[in-house]
Amino acid sequence: MSYFSNIFNGIKTLLTGMSITGKYFLNSRKGAITQQYPDNRDTLKMFDRFRGEVIMPHDENNEHACTGCQKCEIACPNGTIEIIWDRGIDEHTGKNKKKIDKFVYHLSMCTMCGLCIDVCPTDAIKWGQNFENSVYDRTALTRVLNKPDSKLRAGVED
C-alpha cells in the first residue's frame, strides 16, 4: 500500500512545484528582471554612484580642478593613476605652483575601489557612468584625463 501512496505523494509534490513554475509561465511578462541590454542602450541609465570609470570633469572654459597634489596617486593600491607634473607661474595668483601636465589613468589596472575619488581634496575626479570599456588594443585603456590645453580653475586650492 505504501508503494502506491509513495507514488501519489511524489506526484503531488511535483505538481505543487509545477504550480509555481506554471504561475510564472502564464504571467511571464510580470516581474521579469531581464534587461534587453544592447537594445535598451538609449534608455539605460546607470545609478549616480555607479563606478564605471574615473573621469575628470572640465567646465566650459576647459578648466579642471586638479591641483596635482598626487594624493590620488598615493591612495591608489594598483598604480592606476600616474600624474606627470611641472612647476609654473600660476596666472591667477602669480605664485610658482605645481600644475599637472598629464593625468594618466590606466583603466586596465583599475579595480574601481574608489579610494582616489574619496581622497581628492578638490573633487577634481569623479565616477563616470560609462561601462562599455572593451577595446581591441589595450593601449587604448591608458587615458589622459585632462584635456589638451586645459587649465586649473581659478580659486581652487588644496
Partner 1 sequence: MQETATLNNSFKSEEYFINMGPQHPATHGVLRLLLTIDGEIIKKVEPDLGYIHRSIEKMCERDSYQQIVHLTDRMDYLSSHINNEAVCLTVENALELEIPDRVKVIRTIIGELTRIASHCLWWGVMGMDVGALTTYFYGFRDREMINDIFEETCGARLTMNYNVPGGLMWDIHPNFIKRVKEFIVHFKTKIPEYDKLLTGNVIFQKRTKGVGVLSKEDAISFGVSGPVARGSGYSCDVRKYHPYSALDKVTFNEVLETDGDTFARYNVRIKELWESLSIIEQLIDNIPEGEHRVKTNAVIKLPKGEFYQKVETARGELGVYIISTGTKNPYRMKFRSPGFSNLSALNHMAVGGKIGDLVATMATLDLVIPDIDR
Residue closer to partner 1 (CB basis): 13 or 62: 13
Q: How far is the CB of 43 from partner 1 (least distance, A)?
A: 16
32 versus 60: smaller Cβ distance to partner 1: 32
Question: Any idea what DSSP says for residue 64?
Answer: E
Nearer to partner 1, 16 or 134 (CB): 16
Cα separation, 111 vs 79, in Å, equals: 11
Q: Per the structure block, which three cell numbers stand in for 62?
A: 576647459
Closest distance between partner 1 and the C-beta of residue 59, in Å?
Answer: 24
CA–CA gap between residue 86 and residue 75 (Å, rounded): 21
Q: Which amino acid appears at position 29 of this protein? A: R
Cα atoms in the Cβ-side hemisphere of radius 13 Å centred on 125: 27
Site for partner 1, rule CB under 8 A: 9-10, 13-14, 16-17, 19-21, 31, 33, 46-47, 49-51, 71, 75, 77, 111-115, 118-119, 127
Residue 41 or 95: the one with the smaller Cβ distance to partner 1 is 41
Q: Nearest approach, Cβ of 93 to partner 1 (angstroms)?
A: 25
What gap in Å lies between CA 18 and CA 16, rounded to an integer? 5
